[in-house]
Amino acid sequence: MKIVLIGAGGREHALAVKIAECKGTEKLYIIPGNTGTKQVGENVQINQDDHELIIKFCLEHKIDLVVIGPEKPLIDGLADKLRNEGIKVFGPSKKAARIEGEKSFAKNLMKKSKIPTAAFEVFDKENYDEAISYLNKINYPTVIKADGIAAGKGVMIAEAFDDAKEALKECFINCSFGSAGDKIVIEEFMSGQEASIFAITDGTDFILLPAAQDHKRIFDGDKGKNTGGMGAYAPTPFVNDRDLSIIAKEIIEPTLNALREKGMPFIGCLYCGLMMTSSGPKVVEFNCRFGDPETQVILPLLEGNFVELLYSAASGKINKDAVKYNGGASVCIVAASGGYPDAFEKGFVIDGLENVSRNVSVYHAGCKELNGKILTNGGRVLNITSFTEKNNITDAKRMAYEALSKISFEGMQYRKDISDKALK
Ligand code: AMP
Ligand code: GLY
């Protein structure tokens, strides 16, 4: 099978490794890929936004399956255009991708289908005064979210009315999130442990992959600003088998049904961000794609044929037995540029990659190559990922940090407490 993978991050490096090792993968191209993906496939220098060129490449190379990593090409409709040309795609249509692209769309769909999530109200820029009077009568903390995609920065937790008013100003008056903040969702604050669940689906049937826990804040102890994710581990003990069956029955199944009934079946990976509250799992958000860095820790836990899973889902009849959990554990630590998630410098040489033992994978994210050296080229630079055959997070954590200690670049920062919540 000839496969194209779209994307350039650590998630795509992990996907590329998994796809390349599957029986039946004859050729893997990554558009545009990165310094890591080129070790397992062929990088093709086409811009991810150049849909016409991507389609041309896929037709010319008789591609059997396209796997789309990031949300942007999905939200922009790349999957639809490829399908119109008869190419099989793992990834949702533009319409179905609204589940990530418009928070109000996701919230209204959940409300209508009685899917457990935080209570909420939606306000447009024109309804500033109404939003203020609503903020005057609710309980705090509360959560204010820009409706559109805001690079992970559009969620503000307000401890009191004044913070909430400030957040409103950011969206509606300062327009800090551009048009993504023209509409907002104000929602109830939920407490509990967070978990990420991936449902792999053909639009009707689905399987759930092992649950992971991300670490969104920049500093230890979940302090500081939100990031794209500073590390993850799987499986997380905060989601047990009973929770998984509740999540399948009360969240994933009705969401897929609702999307299908609206004429926008979701084919791909439905990523469900959950809060495990005292009254059960509730949805924090949906994403229309694999999570990053959760993918890096979930894929090593799958045995079987991952490509068969994706291909069967993309073909309309998922093979639910294609993969199963192998009983292991995995921990991923993100090494980030100094200053991230705010402004940071790049172009520093990364030392020590060759010293990492073979039982730990180092996925490349924001990296580039110059004169045979790997340099930093983004906020999240490397994903140091361990795997243990038994479900032993303690060992997996130790292995990942040991490997990390061999790697260095100027300004490197990372969290020292990845997976600690699982160990308490
Ligand atoms: P999101 O981009 O919607 O995933 O939100 C980013 C982060 O904000 C989440 O991972 C949570 O930590 C936090 N968050 C979002 N919504 C809520 C909520 N309703 N209650 C508590 N925390 C939330
Ligand atoms: N790790 C969070 C995300 O992929 O959105």
CB 142 within 8 A of CB 163: no
In short, whether 35's Cβ falls inside 6 Å of ligand 2 is: no
In short, whether 383's Cβ falls inside 6 Å of ligand 2 is: no
Phi, psi of 21 (to 5 degrees): -85, -5
CA angle 83, 32, 379 (to 5 degrees): 120
Write out pLDDT tens, residues 197-208: 999 999 999 999
- Per-residue pLDDT at 165: 95
| Ligand 2 atom having least distance to the Cα of 229 | 1
| CA-closest residue to ligand 1 atom 11 | 284
CA angle 391, 396, 397 (to 5 degrees): 130
- Per-residue pLDDT at 197: 98
Specify the residue for token string 């079946």. 265
Alpha helix positions (H), 123-160: 128-137
Number of DSSP helices (H) and strands (E) in the chain, helices first: 14, 24
Examine residue 141 and say whether the peptide bond preceding it is cis (omega within 30 degrees of 0).
yes
| Ligand 1 atom having least distance to the Cα of 191 | 21
Closest CA to 228 of 73, 11, 34, 402: 11
Architecture of domain 191-325: 2-Layer Sandwich (3.30)
In short, whether 285's Cβ falls inside 6 Å of ligand 1 is: yes
- Per-residue pLDDT at 348: 98
In short, whether 283's Cβ falls inside 6 Å of ligand 1 is: no
| Ligand 2 atom having least distance to the Cα of 293 | 1
Residues whose CB is less than 8 angstroms from the CB of residue 358 and which lie 6 or more positions away in sequence, other chains included: none
Q: Which CATH superfamily is domain 329-423 in?
A: Phosphoribosylglycinamide synthetase, C-terminal domain (3.90.600.10)
Specify the residue for token string 């180092």. 362
CA angle 194, 235, 355 (to 5 degrees): 110
- Per-residue pLDDT at 266: 98
> Residue 140, class by beta-carbon neighbours within 10 Å (0-12 exposed, 13-18 middle, 19+ buried)?
middle
Q: Tell me which H or E stretch contains 314.
A: helix 306-315
CB 363 within 8 A of CB 356: no
Domain locations in the chain?
2-84, 119-188, 191-325, 329-423
- The pair of three-digit structure tokens given for residue 106, joined into one six-digit string: 């996701």
Architecture of domain 2-84: 3-Layer(aba) Sandwich (3.40)
C-alpha to C-alpha distance for 290 and 7, rounded to whole angstroms: 11
Specify the residue for token string 């991810």. 48
- The pair of three-digit structure tokens given for residue 137, joined into one six-digit string: 């009568």
Write out pLDDT tens, residues 340-396: 999 999 999 999 999 999 899 999 999 999 999 999 999 999 999 999 999 999 999
CA dist 389 → 15, 35, 86, 172, 393 (Å): 20, 28, 40, 50, 10
Q: Does domain 119-188 have CATH number 3.30.1490.20?
A: yes
Residues of the chain with pLDDT under 50: none
Which of 12, 74, 214 most suits a substitution to test ligand 2, by most atoms within 8 Å of the C-beta? Answer: 214
pTM of full prediction above 0.95: yes
- Per-residue pLDDT at 150: 85
> Residue 58, class by beta-carbon neighbours within 10 Å (0-12 exposed, 13-18 middle, 19+ buried)?
buried
